[in-house]
Amino acid sequence: MNCTPRIKHPRAAASGPWTVGALCAAYSWPQNAPGGGVIAIVELGGGWVSSDLEAFCKANGVPMPTVVDVSVDGTKNAPGNDADVEVALDIEVAAAAYYAATGKPATIRVYWAQDIATALDKAKADGCDVYSCSWGAPETQWGTAEVQAMEAAAAAATASVMVVLAAAGDNDADDGASSPSVDCPACCPSVIGCGGTNKPHAGTESVWNNDPNPSDPSGEGTGGGFSTIFAAQPFQVGAPAGSGRMVPDVAAAADPDTGYEIYVHGSSTVVGGTSAVAPLYAGLFAALGRKLGNILPTLWKNHGTFTDITVGGNGAFQAGIGPDPCTGLGSPIGTAIAALFAAQAPSPPVSSPTPPAPSPTATVSLAQVQAWVNAGIAAGHPLQTRGQAEALASAALAQNWPPASSLVSANEVHVAIKANQASGDADCG
């Protein structure tokens, strides 16, 4: 199985190109997002040089990101071939998208490997928060065993609270095969498949397809369709009936004719493809915080956080009202997506007023102990272990205990803690 980068060069001048910052503004990107997410990018070849990244950042008013190269299997950053364009696109788009949402420089780790799943395993072990893959091949070319192994790696990564994204392919519904086929790893149920649109300006958007001949396996347009390996997924609420898991889940501008302006090999160039969409979303999700995990069900329950794309098709399938196998849920409404995850984040614990400590007495009542425990473990505090509850209770007792008072028994204190837990003030698991 030979994965290739999902990238295309423009055929003719159009109303583009987009700078990443302008595109983010057109997609209503949030501002002052909390950030903190570490972005992992897998590359199977090519390389990058700091001078190109510096030129891109200077031209776009973006601070230099922190970029760390990680060799997974001996593969290394080796600039000097056509794959350099893919690498530059991934790093530069992710960095600029993250900055547009946070006003802060991104932290990016580039995983050099010959296998996408192996790189994902390493990024998971390193604690990365978002994983972006712009490489892929038709599901039929991978074979069932390899596709299922890819899904196992992705499922493990999302279980470790990583967001996993992959380009949906650039050869229309056939994905370069002889018949309709979705792209892997975008077909995996634990991966957010990223499709492509044509977006000549802020107010217009349609399915990306520059070659609408359904019999041409090398057509140029967004991948999309239904998996023949994975069944239809219950989380894809509102998806049309099909033979299996629908791809893509989301979309954004990908048409190279109105492409992205990047810097590579010492100069500015314009490229497109669903390769640009995965790192665009990676920058957004990394900006929304750390450890978001498997967010696909949440996205699919909230269609209103995307702009529905209803015009165009990818050869075998047509867009329409609601989700479709061309652009999925549609293109992002950044502020709406940010609000969605901000609303789901656990609220910081609200401290209850600390009861005044009694004057020194000969004894301390159990009721007083209970009050101090309640104050130390605020209602709704997201405790994970009983040990955390006991530590907070001990701190509350130490803070409030009158110096001249005698101790109640250890058993009475334990009873107080248990009573606090039973009341629902602390869920200790």
Residues with catalytic function: 86, 90, 275
Give all domains of the chain, ordered by start, each with its CATH number: 4-344 (3.40.50.200), 348-429 (no CATH)
State the Cα–Cα distance between residues 264 and 105, nearest whole angstrom.
20
Q: Are 3 and 42 in contact (CB under 8 A)?
A: no
pLDDT of res. 175: 87
Q: Are 20 and 281 in contact (CB under 8 A)?
A: no
Beta strand 192-201 with 250-253 is parallel
pLDDT of res. 385: 45
The tokens of 111 are what? 């995983």
| DSSP state for residue 218 in the 8-state scheme | T
Q: Are 211 and 172 in contact (CB under 8 A)?
A: yes
pLDDT of res. 423: 46
Return the closest-CA partner of residue 265 out of 110, 81, 96, 135.
81
Return the closest-CA partner of residue 297 out of 172, 148, 192.
192
pLDDT of res. 178: 80
pLDDT of res. 223: 96
Return the closest-CA partner of residue 207 out of 226, 191, 192, 220.
220
Per-residue pLDDT of the chain (429 residues; tens, 9 = 90+): 666 666 555 554 455 689 999 999 999 999 999 999 999 999 999 999 999 999 999 999 999 999 999 999 999 999 999 999 999 999 999 999 999 999 999 999 999 999 999 999 999 999 999 999 999 999 989 999 999 999 999 999 999 999 999 999 999 998 888 889 999 999 999 999 999 999 998 889 999 998 766 556 567 999 999 999 999 999 999 999 888 999 999 999 999 988 999 999 999 999 999 999 999 999 999 999 999 999 999 999 999 999 999 999 998 999 999 999 999 999 999 999 999 998 554 444 444 444 444 444 445 555 665 665 566 555 444 444 444 555 555 555 555 555 545 444 444 555 555 555 444 433 322
For the purposes of burial, counting CB atoms within 10 Å of the CB of 13, is it exposed (0-12), middle (13-18) or buried (19 or more)? exposed
Please state whether the peptide bond connecting residue 34 to the residue before it is cis, i.e. omega within 30 degrees of 0: no
